Structure 1
Amino acid sequence: MSVITASSTVTLHFTIKLKDGSVADSTHNMGKPAKFSMGDGSLSPNFEQCLIGLQTGDSKAIELDAEDAFGMANPDFIQYMDKTRFSGQDLEVGTIMAFSGPDGSEIPGIISEVNGESVKVDFNHPLAGQAVIFDVEILNVD
């Protein structure tokens, strides 16, 4: 049995739940597990620490405060844009849209308000500011 260390590559299924028990995301819905390397930045350092020592076949519920999960909402990540930038698009509050980042990458933004000619877009992670529970099921450790 392989044990997760700071240099492991891990394949796992996860389900992210909010404190009220509602499911926010799950690899089971996607039909395939997630694979990542410890320390590659895809998970918070605190979450990685909770995985160290787990083995193939282990399941664990990991509770994380907002700071240790997706971070706190950052007011700098909220932008107001002119409605003309969205010509022909249906602007509905709660819609997630792709925007071009400074480096050309796609950044998801959530339409949080439409007021006259102004559109408020929130680029924070949808789960920022929320405590979550990760149910993990370790499938493989390399």
Structure 2
Amino acid sequence: MQIAKNAVVAIDYTLHDTEGEVIDSSPEGEPLRYLHGAGNIIPGLENALEGKTAGEDLEVTIAPADAYGERDDRLTQDVPRSMFEGVEDIKAGMRFQAQTESGPQVVTVAAVTGDQVTVDANHPLAGETLKFTVRIADVREASEEEISHGHVHD
């Protein structure tokens, strides 16, 4: 079966940055399963997998626009340390969920200077070109329930 909209796809993958450093990978023997066409994975990878079949291997480079988007400096701001009530030691790299006008948003602490904390709401991989090595482990038809829910049921 070819990968197409509403197929359940299982992939073994390794994700590298442009310097070849491993960013993420599927655990051995535990492929990532997703519903194709439901927006469960980044668009560039989903597009590259379209039409492929189980057993195929591919390497694909994905530009930021087809991954997590370009970095947006407007998503970085300084906030008072007092906004982190109950957190004694705030350090760069820590992640928090913030309430915004658009709803909950995950932010990463970029820096702490005195009573000011710089937070960044960009995805950690925004602006990055991503390189995937993928082996397609399995492709099957999705159930009606999976299609209606928009994700795979194991």
TM over 0.5: yes
C-alpha deviation, 1:74, in angstroms: 1.7
1:64-103: CA deviations, max 9, x gaps? 11111211012232232210122433211122x2314457
What is residue 110 of structure 1 aligned with on the other side? 108
What residue identity is the alignment partner of 1:13? D
What is residue 33 of structure 1 aligned with on the other side? 31
Match of 2:82, SS state, is helix
In structure 2, which of residues 129, 149, 152 is the aligned counterpart of residue 131 of structure 1?
129
C-alpha deviation, 1:16, in angstroms: 1.0
How many residues end up aligned between the 2 structures?
A: 138
What is residue 122 of structure 1 aligned with on the other side? 120
Cα contact 2:109–2:117 (8 A) shared by 1: yes
The percent identity for this pair of structures is 28
C-alpha deviation, 1:112, in angstroms: 0.5
Rounded to whole Å, the distance in 2 between the matches of 1:101 and 1:11 is 34
Relative to the length of structure 1, the TM-score reads 0.84
1:12-32: CA deviations, max 9, x gaps? 122110011001111127x63
Where do residues 1-142 of structure 1 align in structure 2 (5 Å cutoff)? 2-28=1-27, 32-86=30-84, 87-95=86-94, 97-102=95-100, 105=104, 107-142=105-140
Rounded to whole Å, the distance in 1 between the matches of 2:55 and 2:13 is 13
The structure whose Rg is larger is: 2
Unaligned residue ranges in structure 2 (runs of 5+): 141-154
Cα contact 1:59–1:136 (8 A) shared by 2: yes
Unaligned residue ranges in structure 1 (runs of 5+): none
What residue identity is the alignment partner of 1:82? P
